[in-house]
A and B are shown apart, each in its own frame.
Chain A
């Protein structure tokens, strides 16, 4: 599995993300600076990391989405490539139009930084297939603008096409208002593109990939990709 991580000024999860990929694939991820206009050839996955690209100026992810490299990332996605956007990377994917909706300021106005539980809503994606029968994952969030919003007709479509990948839930998997850290509509924590090859999610799976750090539920996102992409 050949991966690349895009680096914007203000990205701060790029190294963690590269390490998570290397851990499952055994090969280093290529770091690609935002001013590049082309991606390395033969890539399987492009990832957009968390952080505060361009200081969150204008809107979170808005300036990064207009970076030179994002044209190449959009073409990669439109050509069927796999793209993973985490936290600020999710915001960039929305601003690019590769995923629908928007992320607003958290309903409680607080920056939320803690582990949350996620219900795996579909295992039918290259990012979630390792959960097999679904289940609950514990993965940290760290964001101020994670309040996901789409209009009602798009929301129906996301549900109808099983494109909600993760929802915020309690430890037992109950999707409740109390378990919603940011006010996201329908507790949505991650969504898929129509071809299921682009995933944007607010939680940080790359931060919980190693038992030495207190858990490894996050590794399943990367193991799923490996399972979907590694030559049999």
Chain B
């Protein structure tokens, strides 16, 4: 079983890296990009976890390590 975690900065948290990417897109001719927000994808290969519990387990992983919930949101997909 696999899980995919998306981690994104909360709305309102400044993302200077995303802003730099936006500028670079403009510099190579991609105009019309109003904003860029950069995040992370973490893929987990799960073993020995009941499918029914998998989502809750991965949420716990996010709360305790994978995301910093002060500044980041996360979503969990069980694949």
Q: Which residues of A contact B (CB under 8 A)?
A: 58-59, 62, 66, 94-95, 100-102, 104-109, 147, 149, 183
Specify which of B14, B70, B71 is in contact with A183 (CB 8 Å cutoff). Answer: B14
Specify which of B20, B66, B68 is in contact with A102 (CB 8 Å cutoff). Answer: B68
B65 A66 Cβ-Cβ under 8 A: yes
For the complex, give the distance between the alpha carbons of A183 and B17 in Å: 13
B16 A106 Cβ-Cβ under 8 A: yes
- Whether, in the assembled complex, B13 has its beta carbon less than 8 Å from a beta carbon of chain A, the answer is yes
Q: 1/0 per residue B45-74: CB within 8 Å of A?
A: 000000000000000000011101011000
User: Can you add 7 more A-B contacts, CB < 8 Å, to A109-B20, A149-B71?
Assistant: A58-B65, A94-B70, A102-B70, A104-B71, A105-B16, A106-B16, A147-B16
For the complex, give the distance between the alpha carbons of A149 and B68 in Å: 12
- Ordered by A's residue number, 24 sampled pairs between the chains whose C-beta atoms are within 8 Å are A58-B66, A62-B65, A94-B70, A95-B68, A100-B70, A101-B70, A102-B70, A104-B13, A105-B16, A105-B17, A107-B14, A107-B16, A108-B16, A109-B16, A109-B17, A109-B20, A147-B14, A147-B16, A149-B13, A149-B14, A149-B70, A149-B71, A183-B14, A183-B16
The closest CB in chain A to the CB of B65 belongs to A66
Min CB gap A110→B, angstroms: 10
Min CB gap A181→B, angstroms: 13
**Interface size range of chain B in the complex:** 10 to 19
Q: With a CB–CB cut-off of 8 A, which chain B residues contact A59?
A: 68
For the complex, give the distance between the alpha carbons of A55 and B13 in Å: 24
Q: 1/0 per residue B12-27: CB within 8 Å of A?
A: 0110110010000000
The closest CB in chain A to the CB of B66 belongs to A58
Q: With a CB–CB cut-off of 8 A, which chain A residues contact B71?
A: 102, 104, 149
Q: With a CB–CB cut-off of 8 A, which chain B residues contact A105?
A: 16-17
Min CB gap A154→B, angstroms: 9
Leading 7 A-B pairs by shortest Cβ distance: A102-B70, A102-B71, A109-B16, A105-B16, A107-B16, A109-B20, A59-B68
For the complex, give the distance between the alpha carbons of A94 and B72 in Å: 14
Q: With a CB–CB cut-off of 8 A, which chain B residues contact A149?
A: 13-14, 70-71
The closest CB in chain B to the CB of A108 belongs to B16
For the complex, give the distance between the alpha carbons of A58 and B41 in Å: 11
